[in-house]
Amino acid sequence: MAFVCALSFISDTSSCNGFSLLHSYKPVHPIHRDVSLTAEYQSNPTFKIMRSSLGMSDASDESTTPSKLMDMNNVEFTQGCTVQTTKEIKAFHVGKKGSGTYNGNTFVPIDWDKEGDDVPREKKCLVMPKGFRGVVNRVYDVNDLDASLPVLVKFVAGDSMGGEFEPPVSFLMHLEESEVEVVV
């Protein structure tokens, strides 16, 4: 159910600070309700809200069809499809065991005993190379949630999914549709 609220104000002051609202409510229609409101302003008793309306519309009036997210090759992202990264991406949220880079196809972990806490922030992550594969766990409807990273991908430890790189740990990561492409 969507709500629409509109207020019209008449005042000879530019500020609305210091007014107290005295409201009365009278239903006019079961779907569209007009509400009559008045307000008193501390130094100006002529401040009034002339008209206010609250309307509700049924969700069936609006388009409820979720939008389809497509990759760069115009292939739709669906739950369960295999995707691969289109560029190098850093995953800062993985644990110490998963932090490191790839030398060719081989994972090179950070040597925490040697480097300790002196590891700079930009290296305390998993650097996923282009072609790193995972499975789409969920695709968020950008019309419904305004998700900035709408593709949730699961990477499984030791499973290259037919690609060159095996993730060192399992983790989930939200990605933009431009960061991954569907593997067909």
Highest mean pLDDT among 7-16, 21-30, 106-115, 166-175: 166-175
Which amino acid appears at position 119 of this protein?
A: V
pLDDT, tens digit, 9 for 90 and up, residues 3-35: 333 333 443 433 344 544 444 444 444 444 444
Angle, CA 127 vertex, CA 125 and CA 128 arms, to 5° = 135
| Beta bridge pairs of residue 107 | 102
Whole-number Å distance between alpha carbons of 99 and 84 = 19
- Decide: 90 and 41 in contact? Cβ < 8 Å: no
Confidence class of residue 42 from pLDDT cuts 50, 70 and 90?
low
pLDDT of amino acid 115: 81
> Do 17 and 39 touch, CB atoms closer than 8 A?
no
**Looking at the predicted structure, is the pLDDT value of residue 81 above 50?**
yes
Segment 32-47 shows an average pLDDT of: 47
104 burial (CB, 10 Å; 0-12 / 13-18 / 19+) is exposed
- Provide the 8-state DSSP code for 76: B
> What predicted TM-score, i.e. pTM, was given to this entire model?
0.63
Which residue is listed with tokens 């790839």? Answer: 102
In DSSP terms, 180 is beta-bridged to: 85
CB neighbour burial string for 24-36, b if at least 16 within 10 angstroms, e if fewer:
eeeeeeeeeeebe
Return the higher-pLDDT residue of 28 and 91. 91
Residue 115 is given by DSSP the state H
